[in-house]
Structure 1
Amino acid sequence: MKRDFELGCSHSLADIQILRNRFLRLHIGWLAVILVVGPARADVVWRGDFETGDHSQYSHSQMVRADRLAVVTSPVAEGKYALKAMVKQGDDPINASGNRNELVYLSNEQVGSEYYYRWKVMFAPDFPSVKTWQVFTQWHHDGCCGSPPVEFFVYGEEIRLTMTDSVTPWRTPLTRGVWHEFIFHVKWSADAKVGFIELWHNGQQVLKKRNLATMYAGMKSYMKLGLYRSDTIKETGVVYHDGLIQATALEDVLPPPPPPESEEDPAEEETPQPGIPEVSPPEEGTPSEGGTSPGVTPGSPGSVNPPASGSSQELSPTYGCSATGGSLAALVALLGLLGNGRSRRRR
């Protein structure tokens, strides 16, 4: 890079401002790369988290009445909305076996595809305890008959995951009135040597990678959630669903970390200005706060207070000549480092 300015005390504040702006223009791309580049993240494939306030994220519903699949504002696990699924004996909207009220998402999972699904479920305090099946999430085949190849359900006082051929690789005690978080990793295949599953429950991996058939041969699968149960159950059943996400990487279904709490007083924060900030001439008479960084003395541009004993030198928006070199020296040093780094990368 050709350097049009030489350092010295003869240059004006305007010259230094031009140098600073040129530095920003030349290296803003490199700075953006340094700040932004991180581990590659896959995109979220689909959200069924009800944050639309309705059922529009889903393909269609199977319910006898609107109140059986109600989008509610309480209780919720995250965001503003959740689904309240209710089933009473006799609810049979599609004239099939069992009673149900379910939402359908025609995802049509392809053979060989691999996804992570995360969702949260809460069972009402009076959720029935019966020795028969009550399915709350399933991946159903597009054939006419038989049990789905993947189903999460309650049996008595247990939550179970059952796969094709009635294999039950995981179960846990049922707890009511609390949110259960599931992360389900699956590769879709009818070949038990190719298909596999993994499962996390409430942040803990409870089922390590296990090869199983996850589809029926020659059929596709699609997702359903709500409540589907034996028609022998007389009591009303209520289950809540929230936060459903489908993605191709684990990090994309994990909930975001809580924002860090700021220790600064919001009243003391400066309002950011759009664009490149203008640099005001240094002022005289204002000591540095706490004595931990060099202060700027009002009055004459370019005069800088020395840092307090034992303090570290920090960059500050002042320019000029000083015994320590000031921010201008640090700026030029940073410019040189970036230039050297670019030369090394070329080699």
Structure 2
Amino acid sequence: MFVGDYSTGDFSQWWVQCKGYNGEGSEFKSDYSASIVDDPTYGKAARYEVRTGDVPPFGGGERSEVSGTDASGGAEGQIRWYQFATKFDESFPSNHSALGWGLTNQWHGDGSLGSPPLNWTVGEQDGQWTLVAERQSDPGGYLGQLHLFRTPINPGSWHEVKMEVLWSTSDTKGYVRLWLNGARQTFTDGSDTYFVRTLLPGSSPAPTVYYKEGYYRENDIPATGIVYHSGFVCAAAEEEL
């Protein structure tokens, strides 16, 4: 359905947002903010770097990230499978929670309001990469975060992730299943299937999400952060990954 694995050697599979740029990946000229590098595991990977003050032309938080099309996300009642790999540079700050919030992977509502209902963050606990569900009654109507899963950021090593998500505004219908480095994972509630709303109720015309990856963070964090991504695929069934 959607492939964003950088095998093209550029950002043409994506829309790019970083310091000084907000546009088609095919037109983006690589610089320190975002570049394609060779990787012995995946062949090609994207390197994202954010320094203090790296804000795109439209403002908001500091970032270097890419966005997929609607086909990278999901809509009410759809089951989608995701596969991707994320790696933190060995220089990545280990005290990110003390510095401020920061996201590396997110499924963003199809609109400017509200927080991504499902995201991977480094801002919840120092040295930890956390999968978060941001429950909202409507876009921006916050009901509280649920921390579904966490693992050490383990700088210098790839986190190979596979997820099955049923997209829904219902806490009893929506669910997430997770595999990390090939092993099925147990969530913080002790289950291997976490039931939670995965879409934002009240979105217009209908709740949907699209996928983003890179590094997006609170403004004025003094430390430079570097994150690598590769291998993103979204499919309707596991065998299509």
Q: TM-score range by the shorter chain?
A: 0.7 to 0.9
CA deviation after TM superposition for structure 1 residue 243, in Å: 0.9
Residue 161 in 1 paired to residue 131 in 2?
yes
Contact 2:74 2:80 in 1 (8 A): no
Matched, 1:247 2:235: yes
Is 1:115 the counterpart of 2:85? The answer is no
Written as runs of structure 1 = structure 2, the 5 A alignment for 1:68-83 is 68-73=33-38, 75-78=39-42, 80-83=43-46
Gaps of 5+ in 1: 1-44, 254-347
Task: Specify the SS of the correspondent of 1:251.
Answer: helix
**1:90 equivalent in structure 2:** 53
The answer on 1:174 being equivalent to 2:160 is no
Tell which structure's C-alpha radius of gyration is larger: 1
Which residue of the partner structure matches residue 230 of structure 1? 218
Matched, 1:139 2:95: no
| Partner secondary structure for residue 169 of structure 1 | strand
Amino acid across the alignment from 2:194: R
Return the offset for 1:94: 4.3
Instruction: Name the residue aligned to 1:124.
Output: 89
Once the two structures are superposed, the pairs formed by residues 47-58 of structure 1 within 5 Å of their partners are 47-58=3-14
Tell me if the contact between 1:115 and 1:247 (Cα under 8 Å) persists in the aligned partners. yes
Kindly indicate which of the two structures has a greater share of residues assigned to helix: 1
C-alpha separation in 2, matches of 1:87 and 1:196 = 32
Contact 2:53 2:220 in 1 (8 A): no
RMSD over aligned Cα, in angstroms?
A: 1.5
Contact 1:227 1:239 in 2 (8 A): yes
Residues matched between the structures, number: 206
Aligned twin of 1:210: 194
**Residues 50/76 of structure 1: CA separation in 2 closer, same or farther (3 Å cut):** farther
TM-score between both structures, scaled by the size of structure 2: 0.81
Distance in 2, Cα, partners of 1:140 & 1:146: 9
Tell me the CA shift for residue 203 of structure 1. Answer: 1.0
Counterpart code for 1:69: A
Identity of aligned residues (%): 33
Report the Cα distance in structure 2 between the residues aligned to 1:148 and 1:231, rounded to whole angstroms: 18
Task: Quote how far apart the aligned CAs of 1:145 are.
Answer: 2.5
Amino acid in structure 2 at the alignment position of 1:101: S
How many angstroms apart in 2 are the aligned matches of 1:244 and 1:206?
19
Whose RCO is larger (CA < 8 A, sep 6+)?
2
CA apart distance, 1:199: 0.7
- Distance in structure 2 (CA, Å) of the matches to 1:179 and 1:102: 18
User: Does the aligned pair in 2 maintain the 1:123–1:178 contact within 8 Å?
Assistant: yes
CA contact (8 A) 1:77 1:243 kept: no
Structure 2, unpaired ranges of 5+: 21-29, 136-144, 187-191
Partner residue, 1:286? none
Matched-pair contact (CA < 8 Å) for 1:77–1:242: no
Tell me, what secondary structure is at the counterpart of 1:199? Answer: strand
Q: Determine the C-alpha separation between the residues in 1 that align with 2:18 and 2:195.
A: 35
Deviation readout 1:16-50 (Å, 9 max, x if unpaired): xxxxxxxxxxxxxxxxxxxxxxxxxxxxx221111
